[in-house]
């Protein structure tokens, strides 16, 4: 497969009477967007606001972050199986609106939703503070069930992102990057002397409000499978979960998966990037065993020499992580795992809920229990009504002077386990 990503850099976002992109500025008609949002019958009201880097703005509770895109050539469309009809993506041409995102927020769905600060200490911990954020604030109808509300907000955000992406269809990209994913046979023939490397991506799928979607299918219903890496880059995987905001993979992170991008940077030079394997994270032991067995088998079938494994979430998924690691290592395949840590506020607790001597090469995204004081900011997009209930907060989080005492858990993307963050350790 060959995928061309055309990058269109957005320099500003402004509300206007006509939605268009002109000279790097995104103009959006707020009323048009609200109509798109309210097509979701479980939502009773919606509004939009704009947050720019450096502004004294706090966005919370954040549900998802999405990069607007449009498919201009090739099979499939944006968010296949969800917004566009089901078809295989990962080839052709896709235009991406860079340096901006659609951020969904509003009254809380579950306690695991987070904060994006556009300035101050909090902004240093989230990659999304560097973006121009078009924020969708919406509210569910009275009595709506949390999972119905989550679905409605998710679909509204994806539809808005697709609508905005469509504005770029006839533009000329500022930059184009080409990614090629050869077949297994082509890879063997083209790079015979290079180590064969794969990427195992663990997808959060541990029950209601812990969902990730692959071509529209809830990942808890899949067996581990092989994708072309370009499929993830082209919108095949989207977020639908409410795990802790610090290590949740927002849809934006899937679209810009840094593990895949870094492996491609070395593909054909120091490694042969063979395949992207996706697997789920499970609740019950038998399901964990089944998925980890299949994942290790796929790695062996592909003749891999080395594997990078990324986790999503913490605690219970640590068992899936270690099972994947130990079983792949047992096949004679070297592994590196990417995770974050929950080592307690003092950093002295056991970092992971499971461990094994085979997991001897690890990249950490930081300690999610680290405590920080976030300054009072001038403006809130969304609401602070739930800030004491977010995972990583407590009843004393919102202090009398307006500052927030929180763990990094509350900051969106702070300890992301694909490395889509600003933290690590040596």
Q: What is the pLDDT of residues 90-120, one digit of tens each?
A: 999 999 999 999 999 988 777 778 999 999 9
Long-range CB pairs of 84-88 (<8 Å, 24+ gap) are: 84/162, 86/215, 86/216, 88/231
**What SS3 class is residue 49?**
strand
Structure token pair of residue 296 = 């290790």
388, 393, 396, 397: CA torsion to nearest 10 = -80
Residue corresponding to tokens 């989550």: 150
- For residue 181, the model assigns a pLDDT of 86
- For residue 347, the model assigns a pLDDT of 87
pLDDT band, residue 320 (cuts 50/70/90): very high
Contact by Cβ (8 Å): 277, 199:
yes
Q: Among 96, 135, 242, 246, which one carries the catalytic annotation? A: 242
- For residue 424, the model assigns a pLDDT of 67
- For residue 403, the model assigns a pLDDT of 96
- In terms of Cα–Cα distance, which of 22, 62, 6 is closest to 391? 62
Contact by Cβ (8 Å): 135, 103:
yes
Q: Which residues contact 254 (CB under 8 A, 6 or more apart)?
A: 232, 235, 237, 238, 239
Contact by Cβ (8 Å): 159, 83:
yes
User: What's the pTM value of the predicted model, to 2 decimals?
Assistant: 0.95
- For residue 25, the model assigns a pLDDT of 98
Task: Flag whether pLDDT at 425 surpasses 70.
Answer: no
Inter-helix orientation angle 30-37/146-166, to 10°: 140
242 is catalytic: yes
Q: What is the pLDDT of residues 408-422, one digit of tens each?
A: 999 999 999 999 987
Q: Which stretch of 240-249, 296-305, 322-331, 412-421 has the lowest confidence by average pLDDT?
A: 240-249
Q: What is the mean pLDDT of the chain?
A: 94
Whole-angstrom Cα distance, residue 170 to residue 343? 50
DSSP letters for 287-351: HHHHHHHHHHHHHHHTT-SEEEEE--SSSHHHHHHHHHHHHHHHTT-EEEEEEEE---TTS-S-S
Q: Which residues contact 243 (CB under 8 A, 6 or more apart)?
A: 112, 204, 210, 312, 313
- In terms of Cα–Cα distance, which of 210, 249, 246, 220 is closest to 232? 249
Average pLDDT over residues 369-379: 96
As beta bridge partners, residue 8 has 97
- For residue 262, the model assigns a pLDDT of 96
């Amino acid at each position: 497969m060959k995928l061309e990503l055309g990058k269109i850099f957005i320099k500003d976002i402004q509300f206007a009477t006509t939605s268009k992109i002109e000279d790097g500025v995104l103009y959006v008609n707020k009323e048009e967007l609200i109509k798109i949002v309210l097509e979701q019958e479980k939502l009773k009201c919606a509004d939009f606001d704009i947050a720019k880097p450096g502004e004294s703005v706090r966005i919370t509770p954040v549900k998802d972050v999405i990069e607007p895109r449009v498919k201009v050539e090739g099979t499939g469309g944006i968010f296949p199986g969800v917004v566009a009809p089901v078809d295989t993506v990962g080839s052709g041409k896709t235009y991406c609106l860079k340096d901006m995102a659609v951020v969904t927020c509003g009254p809380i769905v579950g306690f695991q939703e987070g904060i994006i600060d556009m300035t101050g200490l909090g902004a240093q911990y989230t990659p999304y503070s560097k973006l121009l954020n078009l924020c969708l604030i919406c509210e569910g109808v009275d009595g709506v069930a949390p999972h119905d509300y989550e679905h409605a907000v998710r679909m509204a955000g994806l539809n808005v992102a697709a609508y905005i992406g469509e504005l770029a269809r006839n533009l000329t990209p500022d930059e184009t990057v080409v990614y090629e994913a050869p077949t297994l046979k082509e890879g063997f023939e083209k790079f015979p002397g290079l180590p064969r490397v794969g990427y195992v991506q663990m997808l959060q799928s541990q029950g209601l409000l812990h969902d990730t979607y692959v071509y529209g299918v809830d990942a808890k219903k899949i067996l581990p499978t092989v994708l072309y890496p370009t499929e993830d880059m082209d919108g095949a995987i989207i977020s639908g979960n409410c795990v802790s905001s610090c290590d949740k993979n927002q849809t934006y992170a899937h679209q810009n998966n840094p593990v895949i991008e870094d492996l491609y940077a070395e593909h054909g030079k120091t490694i042969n990037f063979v395949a992207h394997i996706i697997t789920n994270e499970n609740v019950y032991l038998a399901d964990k065993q089944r998925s980890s067995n299949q994942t290790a088998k796929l790695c062996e079938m592909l003749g891999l020499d080395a594997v990078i494994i990324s986790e999503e979430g913490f605690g219970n998924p640590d068992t899936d992580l270690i099972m994947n690691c130990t079983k792949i290592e047992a096949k004679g395949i070297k592994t590196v795992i990417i995770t974050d840590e929950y080592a307690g506020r003092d950093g002295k607790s056991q970092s992971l809920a499971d461990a094994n001597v085979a997991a001897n090469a690890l990249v950490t995204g930081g300690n999610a229990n680290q405590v920080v004081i976030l300054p009072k900011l001038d403006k809130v997009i969304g609401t602070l009504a739930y800030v004491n209930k977010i995972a990583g907060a407590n009843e004393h989080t919102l202090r009398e002077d307006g500052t927030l005492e929180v763990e990094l858990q509350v900051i969106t993307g702070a300890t992301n386990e694909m490395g889509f963050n600003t933290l690590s350790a040596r």
